């Protein structure tokens, strides 16, 4: 081990991703399904040891983690920093280890929380130090955040990703919505526009995706694209105070972020897209460089 060796960890509820780092450079990486949701408190250390066992050069290296591993049900609680707060939140050390976990961010009113996204925002700000505007992080629980002077000023979560998975996979719509397909842009755009223009009507359109297939010729692919458009349009209607007249930086998985970018650009919003993994790594890298300060 040399002092520029460290390990980055994105440890969420369902997945664990690990990178063997040399400074800002990725040397090895690995993904596993050993997310915190399936582990009890005594198992985390062993999982980490198992998953990094063949990274001999990194034996004893510092590990910097973000995500649900720092929740109350995780390995060690990394308390929330209260917004407004620097995106670069404090680090919590797991006692007796070389593991550090970035703190999440909470907001009192309206009540909201994030864990992991603050690290991606910090990563974005590492590359764009004077970014002022709005960051949108599409995902299971999409986050919108106002950023100013390096701080997360306020934010709001939308359950769009989870609602989409539940409706497409677990509701009666599962019979009529394709399990995966390329987005049909025309159906997606129309649904976004409808939901944005008349959000109170979007809810009533959900069952039409079932009925339209039963008695009409609605295809599973069109139904999926429409469902996606309705939910994203609905979210945009609620998130309008965030994006209206603002520059929006999207951080997310490319395919999903592209849908948000498409919908926002149609509203005349200036959008940039950043890769979620790169943002996570940049944020963890910033955190790693600060270990000395907080230790």
Pairing assessment for the beta strands 16-22 and 5-11 based on DSSP bridges = antiparallel
Instruction: Please select the residue that binds its own copies; options are 41, 174, 201, 265, rule is CB under 8 A.
Output: 201
Q: Does 129 bind its own copies (CB under 8 A)?
A: no
Distance of CA 118 to the CA centre of its chain: 9
**Concatenated DSSP letters for 237-253?**
HHTHHHHTTSEEEEEE-
The tally of CA atoms less than 13 A away on the side-chain side of residue 150 is 7
Say what the alpha-carbon torsion angle 45, 51, 54, 58 is, to the nearest 10 degrees.
Answer: -60
Q: Does 208 bind its own copies (CB under 8 A)?
A: yes
Instruction: Please select the residue that binds its own copies; options are 26, 27, 211, 244, rule is CB under 8 A.
Output: 211
Instruction: Please select the residue that binds its own copies; options are 206, 258, 278, 291, rule is CB under 8 A.
Output: 206
Comparing CB distances to its own copies, the nearer of 233 and 283 is 233
Rounded to whole angstroms, how far apart are CA atoms 278 and 217?
A: 42
Q: Does 40 bind its own copies (CB under 8 A)?
A: no
Contact 145, 154 (CB under 8 A): yes
Instruction: Please select the residue that binds its own copies; options are 189, 238, 247, 291, rule is CB under 8 A.
Output: 238
Q: Does 156 bind its own copies (CB under 8 A)?
A: yes
Enter the DSSP assignment of 83: S
Comparing CB distances to its own copies, the nearer of 153 and 159 is 159
Report the interface residues with its own copies, using CB under 8 A. Answer: 80, 106-108, 110-113, 141, 156-159, 162-163, 166-167, 170-172, 199-208, 210-212, 214-216, 218, 234-235, 237-240
């Amino acid at each position: 081990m040399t002092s520029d060796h460290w390990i980055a960890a994105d440890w969420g509820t369902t997945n664990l991703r690990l990178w063997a780092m040399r400074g800002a450079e990725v040397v090895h990486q690995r993904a596993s399904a050993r997310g915190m949701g399936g582990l009890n408190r005594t198992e985390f250390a062993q999982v980490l040891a198992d998953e990094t066992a063949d990274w001999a050069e990194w034996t004893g290296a510092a590990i910097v983690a973000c995500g649900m591993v720092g929740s109350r049900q995780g390995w060690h609680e990394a308390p929330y920093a209260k917004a407004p707060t620097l995106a670069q939140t404090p680090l919590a050390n797991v006692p007796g280890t070389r593991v550090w976990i970035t703190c999440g961010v909470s907001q009192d009113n309206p009540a909201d929380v994030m864990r992991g996204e603050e690290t991606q925002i910090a990563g974005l700000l590492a590359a764009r130090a004077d970014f002022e505007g709005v960051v949108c992080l599409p995902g299971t629980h999409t986050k919108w955040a106002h950023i100013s002077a390096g701080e997360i000023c306020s934010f709001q979560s939308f359950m769009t990703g989870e609602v989409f998975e539940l409706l497409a996979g677990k509701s009666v719509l599962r019979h009529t919505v394709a399990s995966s397909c390329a987005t049909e842009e025309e159906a997606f755009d129309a649904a976004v526009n409808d939901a944005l223009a008349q959000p109170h009507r979007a809810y009533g359109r959900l069952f039409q995706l079932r009925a339209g297939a039963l008695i009409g010729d609605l295809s599973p692919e069109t139904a999926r694209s429409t469902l996606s458009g309705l939910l994203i349009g609905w979210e945009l209607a609620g998130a309008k105070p965030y994006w209206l007249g603002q520059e929006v930086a999207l951080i997310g998985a490319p395919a999903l972020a592209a849908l948000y970018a498409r919908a926002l650009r149609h509203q005349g919003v200036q959008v940039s897209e950043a890769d979620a993994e790169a943002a996570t790594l940049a944020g963890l890298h910033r955190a790693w460089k600060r270990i000395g300060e907080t230790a």
